[in-house]
């Protein structure tokens, strides 16, 4: 009996607790955090929200701070919903959202700061170059399961989508899926980057990402006969287009107003055009 006693680690039930609990604890902290990313600098301007807009907001902030030494702009991620919430609660001066506001969120005033295209992407070696939007909807709804049914090499389709609540997914749902559901069996990734990574390595996969992030590792599909690029979007031909929004509660205060003016100025808009977004100043109609 003595041997048995000796064989058990003295604090084993406690030790068991530690690992899952710590994971859990950190999860809770993150959950809390994402909800209310409070601005850290008191004098500075806090811009928080959509991770799709974040890299562009970073660029704007960088240049703006160069032009106006002494001004501090904090750009934070957290997601569209977190951005909306932060703008409402005043935790951020400006919220960023890559999806349209829901009816109960309309108390915020919104400024469209750029347009972004959504590209449907496949592996570069995939022989399929063109699809109709209806076909794309069937694919993501799980109705088409094999590439041979849509003119590709036989092989089960690997559909890659974004997580529920993502601005990109919301836009895709609205623009492509309409009333249909995205299949439960689709692989879910939590960023444009990982979707691109999977599609770049899996010859049978199909996904969708922000047009600004399309590169040589993948190929964007021609949809309904229109190639997705800045020209076709400006001409109003390519239909998968969503607005990038800045959100403010009430009237913009001095500093937030100045930053938004810069963002909408020719310089600000040129900056994001270089990065692959479509400027608002060039005026495309409501897509």
Residues at the site binding other proteins, with contacts judged by CB under 8 A? 2-9, 12-13, 15-17, 19-25, 27-28, 30-31, 34-35, 51, 77-82, 84-85, 156, 158, 163-167, 170, 173, 181, 184-190, 194, 197-198, 201-202, 204-205
H or E element that contains 130: strand 130-131
Q: How far is the CB of 33 from other proteins (least distance, A)?
A: 9
Q: How far is the CB of 100 from other proteins (least distance, A)?
A: 13
- Alpha-carbon distance of 192 to 53, in angstroms, equals 12
Q: How many CA atoms lie within 13 A of 234 on its CB side?
A: 11
Burial 114-147 (b: 16+ CB within 10 A, else e): bbbbbbbbbbeebebeebebebbbbbbbbebeeb
Measured from the CB atom, the residue of 15 and 235 that comes closer to other proteins is 15
CB-CB contact of 160 with 136 (8 Å): no
Q: How far is the CB of 201 from other proteins (least distance, A)?
A: 6
Measured from the CB atom, the residue of 209 and 278 that comes closer to other proteins is 209
Measured from the CB atom, the residue of 77 and 228 that comes closer to other proteins is 77
Please name which of 53, 131, 90 lies closest in space to residue 248, comparing C-alpha atoms: 90
Q: How far is the CB of 47 from other proteins (least distance, A)?
A: 16
Measured from the CB atom, the residue of 3 and 67 that comes closer to other proteins is 3
Q: How far is the CB of 3 from other proteins (least distance, A)?
A: 5
Measured from the CB atom, the residue of 163 and 231 that comes closer to other proteins is 163
Q: How far is the CB of 64 from other proteins (least distance, A)?
A: 25
DSSP string, 64-86: HHHHSTT--EEEEEE-HHHHHHH
Measured from the CB atom, the residue of 41 and 156 that comes closer to other proteins is 156
CA distances, 121 to each of 1, 129, 158, 197, 201 (Å):
65, 10, 12, 11, 12
- Alpha-carbon distance of 210 to 85, in angstroms, equals 23
Measured from the CB atom, the residue of 8 and 286 that comes closer to other proteins is 8
Q: How far is the CB of 67 from other proteins (least distance, A)?
A: 31
- Alpha-carbon distance of 245 to 98, in angstroms, equals 6
CB-CB contact of 130 with 219 (8 Å): no
């Amino acid at each position: 009996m003595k041997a048995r006693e000796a064989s058990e680690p003295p604090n084993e039930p406690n030790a068991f607790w530690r690992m899952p609990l710590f994971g859990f604890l950190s999860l809770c902290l993150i959950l809390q955090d994402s909800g209310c990313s409070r601005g850290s600098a008191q004098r500075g301007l806090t811009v928080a929200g959509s991770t799709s807009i974040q890299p562009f907001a970073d660029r704007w902030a960088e240049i703006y701070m160069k032009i106006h030494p002494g001004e501090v702009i904090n750009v934070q991620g957290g997601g569209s919903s977190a951005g909306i919430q932060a703008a409402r609660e005043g935790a951020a001066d400006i919220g960023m959202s890559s999806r349209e506001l829901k009816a109960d969120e309309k108390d915020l005033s919104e400024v469209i700061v750029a347009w972004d295209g959504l590209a449907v992407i496949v592996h570069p070696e995939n022989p399929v170059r063109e699809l109709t939007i209806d076909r794309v909807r069937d694919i993501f709804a799980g109705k088409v399961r094999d590439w041979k049914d849509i003119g590709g090499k036989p092989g089960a389709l690997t559909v890659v989508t974004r997580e529920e609540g993502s601005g990109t997914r919301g836009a895709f749902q609205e623009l492509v899926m309409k009333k249909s559901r995205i299949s439960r069996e689709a692989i879910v990734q939590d960023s444009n980057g990982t979707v691109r990574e999977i599609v770049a390595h899996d010859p049978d996969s199909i996904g969708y990402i922000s047009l600004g992030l399309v590169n040589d590792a993948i190929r964007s599909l021609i949809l309904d006969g229109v190639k997705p690029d800045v020209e076709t979007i400006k001409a109003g031909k390519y239909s998968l287009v969503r607005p990038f929004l800045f959100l403010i509660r009430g009237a913009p205060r001095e500093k937030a107003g100045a930053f938004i003016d810069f963002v909408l100025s020719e310089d600000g808009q040129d900056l994001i055009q270089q990065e692959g977004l479509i400027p608002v100043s060039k005026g495309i109609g409501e897509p």
